[in-house]
Amino acid sequence: MFSALFARFVALIGSIMILWRRATIPTPAQAVGQAPSIPAPRPQGALPTLKMPTAKGWEPGHLPEVAPGLKVNAFATGLKHPRWIEVLPNGDVAVAEALFVPGGISSVFDYAMQSTMRRAAAIGDSPNRITLLRDTNRDGVAEERFTFLDQQNQPFGMALHDNIFYVGNTDALMAFDYQSGATKLIGPGRKLASYKPAGHWTRSLILSPDRSKLYVGVGSLSNIAEQGMEVEEGRACIYEVDLKSHESRIFASGLRNPVGVAWEPTKQALWTVVNERDGIGDETPPDYLTEVKDGAFYGWPYCYWGQTVDDRVPQDPAMVAKATRPDFALGGHTASLGLCWLPAGTLPGFGEGMVIGQHGSWNRSTLSGYRVVFVPFQNGKPSGRPRDILWGFLSPDERYSYGRPVGVALAPGGGILVADDVGDVIWRIVGE
C-alpha cells in the first residue's frame, strides 16, 4: 500500500520536474540514423526525469496498430510477463517468462524507482519458466501450451542445436537434452558457464551460422559503474562460447546492455541493439544498433557514440581512444531490446533489414519507443530511417501502457511474432 502511494508521489514530483525541464530545455529532435544530432549532456543529478506509464493491459477486442498492408492477431494470451521467443524447427514456439527481481534499496531514488517499476508491471515475482506454444492447425493461434521448463533463474535467451536446448539464465548458461516434438524438458540440465546476476539481468543467446559457437549478451550491473569497475568485470559485453570445449571468451565489450542479437546474412556479421546510459537528457545518448566486431570496445562507461566523454565517470583516456562508434542510432531511451533479421518478402511493403522491439522509455520527458520498428539494410548496412511496424501500446495521454514489446522472431509459416510483457500476449504480424 505504502509503495503504491509512494509511487504516486514520485510520479507527481516527476511530473513537476518534467514540466520544468520542458519549460527550460527545448525539446530535441530524435537522435536517429548513422549521423545523429546528439544534444550536449545535461546531468539530471539527484532528481532524474522519472516517467513511466501505469500498466493497464489490453481490453477485449483492443489491438495494437499495424502498418498498412499488415494485420495483427494474438497468437497467445494469458502468459505471465513473456519476454523472449525462440521458434523451434517443428514450428513450436518457446517463450521465456521472467521478471526483474528487486534488489536491495540503498537510497530514496532506489525506492522511488522500484515503486514506479512495480506500478508499471516491470518488477515482481518472476515466473521463471519457459512455456511451449503449439499452433496445431496452423491458423496463426496457439491452441496448445505446455510448461516446457520451470524452476529456472530469470530465463531469457534460448537456442536449440543438435538436440540440446540452451537457456540463458541470469546467472548461468544451461544445457538440456531435447527430442523433437517434446513438450517438456526432463532433468536438471548442465551448467556450461556462470554469469554475475542482478542489474541488467537478461542473457540473450544466438548460435553462430555454422552452429559451432554460442554468443551471450550480458549487461552491466549499473548505469555508469557507480559501484566501481571491479563489480562490472565480466559484464557489459558479449561472450563467445565454444560448444565443443565450452571455453568462453569476451567477444566484444563496452556494451552497456546488449540484449537482442541477430546475424546479417550478406556479410555473416553479428549485430546487437544496446541500451545506453541514463540521466543526461532526453536524447543523450541514443540507444543504438551496431555490428559487433571481434575484440571491439564500444565505450561504456567512459564515453558514448564514439569518443564523447561522460564526465560523471572517472576517466581512462586509453579506453576512450579505442572506443568504436556504433553504426546506427535508435533515439534516446527507446529501450530497444528485441532484434531479428527480416528477409525480403517476409512482410508486404518491407524489404530486408532488422526488426527491433522497443520496450519504451522511463528517463525522458516525452515517452519514446513502445513500438516495433524496421531498419532497412542494403549491402550489409542500415540504409534508411526506421519505419513503424507495430505501435499503439500507449494511451494518447501517455498515462497508461496497454503493452510493451520485447522479443521479436520470425513466425512459423511467415510473418513475425512479438512478445508483449505488459499485455501478457504474443502478437503475430502477417500480410493482409
User: Which is higher by pLDDT, 38 or 187?
Assistant: 38
**Cβ–Cβ under 8 Å, residues 232 and 213:** no
Is residue 12 predicted with pLDDT exceeding 90?
no
- Domains of the chain with CATH codes: 60-104+126-431 (2.120.10.30)
Task: Identify the bridge partners of residue 97 per DSSP, sorted by sequence position.
Answer: 82, 129
Confidence of residue 432 (pLDDT cuts 50, 70, 90): very high
User: What average pLDDT does range 69-85 have in this prediction?
Assistant: 98
- The span from the CA of 332 to the CA of 275, in Å, is 9
**What is the C-alpha to C-alpha distance for residues 197 and 155, in angstroms, rounded to an integer?**
11
CA distance 429 to 432: 9
State how far the alpha carbon of 409 is from the alpha carbons of 96, 359, 390, in Å: 13, 15, 14
**Residue 297: what residue type?**
F
- Its pTM stands at 0.93
Residue 377 CB-density burial (10 A; 0-12 exposed, 13-18 middle, 19+ buried): buried
Decide if pLDDT at 114 tops 90: no
Q: Say what the pLDDT of residue 363 is.
A: 83
d(CA 221, CA 226): 9
The C-alpha cell 566484444 sits at 252
Rounded to an integer, the average pLDDT of 88-103 is 94
> What confidence score (pLDDT) does residue 16 get?
58
- How far, in Å, CA of 273 to CA of 258, rounded? 6
Contact (Cβ atoms closer than 8 angstroms) between residue 333 and residue 278: yes
List, for residues 164-213, the tens digit of each pLDDT value.
999 999 999 999 999 999 999 988 899 999 999 999 999 999 999 999 99
What average pLDDT is seen over the chain?
A: 93
Average pLDDT (120-146) is 95
Instruction: Judge whether residue 252 has pLDDT over 70.
Output: yes
Which residue carries 551471450 as its cell?
Answer: 216
